[in-house]
Amino acid sequence: MKRNKKVLVFLGSPRRKGNSAILAERIAGGARAAGASVETVFLHALAIAPCKACYACQKSKSKGCSIGDDMQPLYRKMIAADAWVIASPVYWFTMSAQLKLWMDRSFALPAYGKDPFEGKRIAVAMAYGGEDPFDSGCVNALRTFQDAYHYVGAKIIGMVYGSAMEAGDIKANKALLKEATALGKKLADDND
Ligand SMILES: Cc1cc2nc3c(=O)[nH]c(=O)nc-3n(C[C@H](O)[C@H](O)[C@H](O)COP(=O)(O)O)c2cc1C
Mean pLDDT value across residues 164-187: 98
Of all protein residues, whose CA lies closest to atom 23 belonging to ligand 1? 89
Residue 64 belongs to domain with CATH number:
3.40.50.360
Let me know if residue 3 belongs to a domain.
no
Let me know if residue 57 belongs to a domain.
yes
Strand arrangement, sheet containing 121-128: 37-42, 6-11, 83-89, 121-128, 155-163
| Contact 164 CB / ligand 1 (< 6 Å) | yes
Let me know if residue 1 belongs to a domain.
no
| Contact 127 CB / ligand 1 (< 6 Å) | yes
| Contact 15 CB / ligand 1 (< 6 Å) | yes
Mean pLDDT of the chain: 96
pLDDT tens digit sequence for 70-110: 999 999 999 999 999 999 999 999 999 999 999 999 999 99
Mean pLDDT value across residues 172-178: 98
Q: Give the nearest ligand 1 atom to 136 CA.
A: 11
Cα-Cα end-to-end distance for the chain: 15
pLDDT value for 165? 98
| Contact 171 CB / ligand 1 (< 6 Å) | no
Of all protein residues, whose CA lies closest to atom 30 belonging to ligand 1? 91
Rounded percentage of the chain residues whose pLDDT exceeds 90: 96
The model's confidence at residue 192, banded by pLDDT at 50, 70 and 90, is low
Q: Give the nearest ligand 1 atom to 167 CA.
A: 25
Let me know if residue 2 belongs to a domain.
no
Where does residue 50 rank: exposed (0-12), middle (13-18), buried (19+ CB within 10 A)? exposed
Q: Tell me the pTM.
A: 0.97
The model's confidence at residue 191, banded by pLDDT at 50, 70 and 90, is low
Tally of domains within the chain = 1
Backbone φ and ψ of 39, nearest 5°: -125, 135
Q: Give the nearest ligand 1 atom to 15 CA.
A: 27
Let me know if residue 125 belongs to a domain.
yes
What value, to the nearest 5°, has the Cα angle with vertex 95 and ends 152 and 134?
100
Q: Give the nearest ligand 1 atom to 93 CA.
A: 8
**CA distance to 5, 14, 84, 115, 188, per residue, from 81 (Å):** 8, 23, 7, 13, 11
What range does the domain containing 93 cover?
A: 8-188
| Contact 42 CB / ligand 1 (< 6 Å) | no
Question: In this structure, which amino acid lies at residue 134?
Answer: F
- Write down the H helix ranges in 2-121: 19-33, 72-80, 97-105
Of all protein residues, whose CA lies closest to atom 20 belonging to ligand 1? 128
